[in-house]
Chains A and B, each alone.
Chain A
Amino acid sequence: SYELTQPPSVSVSPGQTARITCSGDALPKQYAYWYQQKPGQAPVLVIYKDSERPSGIPERFSGSSSGTTVTLTISGVQAEDEADYYCQSADSSEVVFGGGTKLTVL
């Protein structure tokens, strides 16, 4: 088993850029995925395979990877982006989520 580590919280003002990191020893060998979850709602996939964006996800969401750290970047943050964000990775038999990061839009 392995772990993914995220900061518990990130705060940003509207229009600024938010960066949420996720660290794990397995990340150089495995893709990372990002989910957005708003209160009382199911998670929504916002980034897959480190940097790919599903259809319907705004272009302000992007992902990158460097060594043991992957980063979700939200450019021009909007009030509606306030949510919990989870990174996730997997191998052939195990799926792991990070602990989640609460993004607060000030």
Chain B
Amino acid sequence: EVQLVESGGGLVQPGGSLRLSCAASGFTFSSYWMSWVRQAPGKGLEWVANIKQDGSEKYYVDSVKGRFTISRDNAKNSLYLQMNSLRAEDTAVYYCARGQYSSSWCYFDYWGQGTLVTVSS
């Protein structure tokens, strides 16, 4: 059974940093693209970042470029999101998702339950 379990969320002040983790199990982690998707309270889904199987390609939504870094450790079956210079508008539930990916399509077939990040003073 595919499982994705996020952790690391919490309350952080504007300008602060936080590192999210996602522990994967039930599939060959190193064979899949992985992603982070977020959802602000009461709002819709927003893609945040993708990372290729070996970490050699990474893509970000414009609003987090230069502030967030996606990474992975295939030996630990883990995905990470380092978030720096956090803003109030980054407040959201952050989901880890497994990606099905090609040069012309990308979608998410499994999702974790999410971890809440709140940016507030």
Query: Which residue of chain A is the closest to B114 with respect to CB atoms?
Result: A42
A binding-site residues for B, Cβ under 8 Å: 1, 30-31, 33, 35, 37, 41-45, 48-49, 54, 84, 86, 88, 90-100
Which B residues lie within 8 Å of A41 (CB)?
113
Interface residues on B, range: 20 to 34
Specify the main secondary structure of chain B where it touches its partner.
strand
Contact with A along B15-58 (1 / 0, CB 8 A): 00000000000000000000101000000111100100000000
B binding-site residues for A, Cβ under 8 Å: 35, 37, 44-47, 50, 59, 61-62, 95, 100, 103-109, 111-114
Tell whether, in the assembled complex, residue A100 and residue B44 are in contact, meaning their CB atoms are under 8 Å apart.
yes
Bound Cα distance from A48 to B108, whole angstroms: 9
Tell whether, in the assembled complex, residue B45 and residue A31 are in contact, meaning their CB atoms are under 8 Å apart.
no
With beta carbons under 8 angstroms apart, the residue of A48, A54, A86 that contacts B45 is A86
Q: How far is the CB of B38 from chain A (nearest CB, A)?
A: 11
Beyond A31-B107, A42-B112, A90-B105: 19 further Cβ-contacts under 8 Å?
A30-B104, A30-B105, A35-B45, A35-B108, A42-B113, A43-B45, A43-B95, A43-B111, A45-B108, A84-B44, A88-B45, A88-B47, A88-B107, A92-B103, A92-B104, A94-B59, A95-B106, A97-B46, A97-B47
